[in-house]
Chains A and B, each alone.
Chain A
Amino acid sequence: MSVSKEQLVDGRRLYAIASVLVLLLVVYGWRFFQMQVVEGYIYQDRAQETAQRSEPVFAQRGQIFDRNYDAPLASNRNSFTITVVPADLPRGAHEEIITRVALLFDREPGPVLDRYRSTARGRYQPVEIISNVSVENLTLLAENIREFPGVSWYSKPERVYPFGEVTSNVVGYVGDITTQELQILFNEGYTATAILGKNGIEQRYDQLLRGSDGRRFRLFDAQGRRIGEDERIIPPTQGSNLVLTIDRSLQELAQEALGPRIGSVVVMKPHSGEVLALVTYPRFDPNRFIGPGGNREVQRLSRDVRSPFLNRPVQSAAAPASTFKIVMSTAVLEENAFPLDEEIDCTGQFPFGNRVFNDWLEFGHGPVNLAQALAQSCNIFYYTMGTSRLSLDQIIDYSYRLGLGSTTGIDISGEVAGLVPSPAWKEQNRNSRWVGGDTVNLSIGQGYLQVTPLQMAVMMSTLVNDGIAKRPYILSEVRNPITGNIESRVQPEMVRDAELRPETLRNIRSHMREVITDGTAEVVITTRAVESAGKTGTGQVGIQERYHSWFVAYAPHGEDVPVEEKVVVVVMVDAANEWEWWAPKAANIILHGYFQGLDFENTVMELRRGPRPLWYM
């Protein structure tokens, strides 16, 4: 079959496109002719003079305050950054000069050279080689500047943390942006000289804190000589100030109460979700990352087996042990699974399948009802509940309803979700079937169950706040850095309704009160400053004489006390420490100090003089 060409290509359309092509070449050609031949001399002059160089004028990063808004937890100090302009360094002597500058400021030349090589871009863009140089040290360079051609400096605010390690796990720290971070954040307006929050609030709210940098422009001729003294400045915009929910003095009190023990403390308001204290140990001091030896300090801490960078209250999950009995009791009450006045005879032994599970008290507690079982932390009672009165699905359901097994949504990065185990989970991850013994272990909060201290605080808050769970949060207000006016305020946010009957809530709270008045915690909670309620926990980790120590509490107890006044305290002391049963002891000090408004020393002094002397300190 032959098709005539007229049908294939419409001649008029072909001419139309051909005309467009010709027109394009002619118009562009004419424009080039105008620019290059007719007006070329104008541009030739301009090429001689438009050599303009610019350097950044850095914005002050927003300050971070605690809830009292009096003294900053993170602030700025004037300091200098040493730069080099590659084109101005003498040929072949780049490395030699940079090495000499590094030694002058007591830095290791290796990393400084690496930084130069990895960030040098344009030949005329200043490259940062050493950050955070104080005015005193800068004079070393300034006085001998002739020996360092191509080296210069500009002012760049340096971050300081006046309270050092007290709030380091909450506030975090900042550092120079890395090449990888820049690749990802380029479109958000970050540049190669940006300072970036690396951790905590500094990282989470970097966009609010960083403000925007300005620029200073100066003219140079084509040979690189400065022309005139003119300079034009685009002023920087300061970053916003942040006010946190953290109470600095409570944070310090809780830290000293925990002492040098690996573990964590959470204090929060159940009514709103405000986190008043978030303590971890061991900690780091971000001020030591700045200046000479800063990199070495980071590397040393990264290698520390005790993981000082781990923010334990949100990033470290462990079995909740007996504190989980609160969840069990709540389930029993809500489901009416066991009458309040009925008792179970605890003999200290619980035969199940082909195994015998023991109580922690060798010969048992004798007959106990639900309230006494929680107060005495009777394992046998809860084994019975878990295996015959409640179904496994109910235990799992109540765990989720009280916030275990999922992240709490706190505004700090790296939170872990812990684990509420289920038969399906075990099939998939352990490749074995769920057995009755797993349920027995789960009933007393052992086995595969993993929770973070913050999750336990949310669990307790839910029960205190009549079943309504609020998202725990740390950022409270954003304030204008100049006027101090509030730009926005974070509102408490409900995340879950556990849907518990008022009767259940009243009963579980009174049972927890009995733990303090007639139960396991009676001997350690010596404070008379406030009526508290809670639950102890002693977690087996498979090592003789080593246990996780948990204490989950709230205060003041009392159905007539407004919920706004109540706080929840969770202390967790890791099994890596000597066994001291320290969690309830620390909580005792924290509760007394908080409600009396005292610092650590005065709290301990007052408790020693109290009606029941502090026997353990």
Chain B
Amino acid sequence: MIKEIQSRSIFEIDLYIVAVTIALLVTSVLFVFSSGVTATGQIVSNEYVRQIVWGATGLVLMLTVTFVHYRLFYRLAPMVFGVMILFLIITPVLGRSVYGARRWLGIAQFGAQPSEFAKVALILFLARFYSDRWKQAGSLKTFIAGLSVTMVPILLVLAQPDLGTAMVYFPIFLMIAFFGGARPSHLAYISLFVVTLVFFTALPFWAEHLSRRAVPFVGVLTEQFAMQLLLAGLGAAIVMAGLGLFFTRRPLFGWLIYGFSIPTLSIPMAYAARLVLRDYQIMRLVVFLNPYVDPQGAGWNIIQSITAVGSGGPFGKGFLQGTQSHYQYLPAQSTDFIFSILAEEWGFVGVLFVFLLFGILFARSLYIMMLARDRFAVLVVSGVVAMFLFHFLVNVGMTIGMMPITGLPLLLLSFGGSSIWTAMIGLGLVMSVYQHRYQY
């Protein structure tokens, strides 16, 4: 009986995911090609050839992972994660310096970005972590332990420095913890902390570069004495709430501590972050808020991308007919802004087409989550969903000015071997869960 199911399952590969993946890869090659063509019709880049090679090898990789039972990855997870951490440690030291950052490890002309593959390693490790501890999944201890594990790759990748990629690990953690049984209040706490951290970091820059009038209270964030005073006040409030909790045992005081401690932690962290951030990173934040502050400098990319997208119209200018892209007004066209070219040349119809493909991918993944046989399988799929979701959210949002420019690729569409392979290994894991749904 079991044997019969096994032999049958080989032909029951998830064709939705395979079809969607191939459709996205073909689209990707088309627009990587388009990005390498100039206004006069000259082909100035052979990136599309490399993209074909990576896509084809990626398919083999994806199918290989599909037919491996995911329990093997369960067993290997700690080792895979350990090895990836090791690679991340040596990358800033031995890596190749490209545009001021060391993100690449490689021999001769072959190189890879370990920070990409580390996403899959983190997914496997966290999935195992939460499936092993499902009985204590809601405890604060488990939550802090899981968060600490996630901070390791985040800090290592920040050291490269690569802010964009470092951000991806966080939603992967949130999603796996969410389905692993973490308490929503814990997840909300850390999310609120990150949001307020970004807000308090950006606020003084916004006040300095954008606001036409003085913004009250900003001094609290930039002047040390004022900040210390505010923190002392918040600290006193926490102590009083603590006393209240101790004597009355009313949950209201617990929530007061919960609320007060968030700014108490994020304000000094934001102060430190402002000292660490480089000028170009700050300008990216500022121009995200208003690109017309610096239309020829840092805001240029956003304006050009928005113009490309908008001028595409409902049906697009036609393949290879885009003007913004072929006059090469867009930087990093084949990676960061590939979706702008697509939106310009294929118009709103093309956008809907890609949205449909990603929609199928997400829907199918959630469906597979429901079919999964054990907790590890559920959590692996949720992690892969988080990875795709976050890349989609940031990259597509960036092309229409709804997200700051971070250099995150759009998985399966953007040019780049490491990111394509990472995406396809992730989908391979999802398909492996589907493939082995009847096996124990």
* Contact across chains for B343 and A36 when beta carbons are under 8 A apart: yes
Q: Per-position contact with B for A45-71: 1 when CB-CB < 8 Å, else 0?
A: 011001110100000000000000000
* Contact across chains for A47 and B400 when beta carbons are under 8 A apart: no
Cβ–Cβ < 8 Å partners of B351 in chain A = 29, 32, 36
Identity of the chain B residue whose Cβ is nearest the Cβ of A1 in the assembled complex: B440
Q: Report which of B297, B309, B328, B378 forms a contact with A124, defined as CB distance below 8 A.
A: B328
Q: Report which of A17, A25, A36 forms a contact with B178, defined as CB distance below 8 A.
A: A17
Nearest CB of B to A583, in Å: 44
Cβ–Cβ < 8 Å partners of A91 in chain B = 40
Nearest CB of A to B51, in Å: 21
* Contact across chains for B306 and A54 when beta carbons are under 8 A apart: no
- State the interface size on chain A (CB cutoff 8 A): 50
* Contact across chains for A29 and B355 when beta carbons are under 8 A apart: yes
- B372 within 8 Å of A (CB atoms): yes
* Contact across chains for A186 and B99 when beta carbons are under 8 A apart: yes
Cβ–Cβ < 8 Å partners of B362 in chain A = 21
Q: Per-position contact with A for B299-311: 1 when CB-CB < 8 Å, else 0?
A: 0000110111111
- A24 within 8 Å of B (CB atoms): yes
- B314 within 8 Å of A (CB atoms): yes
Q: Which of B312, B382, B389 has the most CB of A within 10 A?
A: B312
* Contact across chains for B310 and A35 when beta carbons are under 8 A apart: yes
- B208 within 8 Å of A (CB atoms): no
* Contact across chains for B100 and A51 when beta carbons are under 8 A apart: no
- State the interface size on chain B (CB cutoff 8 A): 59
Given the interface pairs A29-B351, A36-B312, the reply to whether A187 lies near B296 with Cβ below 8 Å is no
Identity of the chain A residue whose Cβ is nearest the Cβ of B389 in the assembled complex: A21
Nearest CB of B to A1, in Å: 8
- B324 within 8 Å of A (CB atoms): yes
Given the interface pairs A8-B375, A28-B355, A36-B351, the reply to whether A14 lies near B366 with Cβ below 8 Å is yes
Residues of B within 8 A of A (CB): 38-40, 97-101, 175, 178-179, 181, 278-280, 296-297, 303-304, 306-314, 323-324, 327-329, 343, 347-348, 351-352, 355, 358-359, 362, 366, 369-370, 372, 374-375, 378, 382, 385, 389, 392-393, 396-397, 400, 402, 440
Cα A47 to Cα B181 with chains together (Å): 50
* Contact across chains for A29 and B378 when beta carbons are under 8 A apart: no
* Contact across chains for A187 and B355 when beta carbons are under 8 A apart: no
* Contact across chains for B370 and A183 when beta carbons are under 8 A apart: no
* Contact across chains for A36 and B309 when beta carbons are under 8 A apart: yes
Q: List 6 A-B contacts (CB under 8 A).
A: A17-B175, A32-B343, A32-B348, A36-B313, A37-B314, A87-B39
Interface residues of A in 58-111 (CB under 8 A from B): 87, 91
Identity of the chain B residue whose Cβ is nearest the Cβ of A46 in the assembled complex: B307
* Contact across chains for A183 and B97 when beta carbons are under 8 A apart: yes
* Contact across chains for A36 and B314 when beta carbons are under 8 A apart: yes
Cβ–Cβ < 8 Å partners of B314 in chain A = 36-37, 40
Main SS class of interface, B: helix
Cα A17 to Cα B362 with chains together (Å): 10
Cα A204 to Cα B440 with chains together (Å): 66
Cβ–Cβ < 8 Å partners of B323 in chain A = 47, 222
* Contact across chains for A123 and B328 when beta carbons are under 8 A apart: yes
Q: Report which of A46, A51, A52 forms a contact with B310, defined as CB distance below 8 A.
A: A46
Q: Report which of A31, A44, A87 forms a contact with B402, defined as CB distance below 8 A.
A: A31
* Contact across chains for B359 and A9 when beta carbons are under 8 A apart: no
Nearest CB of B to A578, in Å: 48
Cβ–Cβ < 8 Å partners of B280 in chain A = 187
Other A-B contacts than A5-B370, A24-B392, A222-B323, 9 sampled, CB-CB below 8 A, are A21-B362, A21-B366, A35-B306, A35-B310, A40-B314, A41-B313, A43-B309, A44-B310, A47-B308
* Contact across chains for B369 and A14 when beta carbons are under 8 A apart: yes
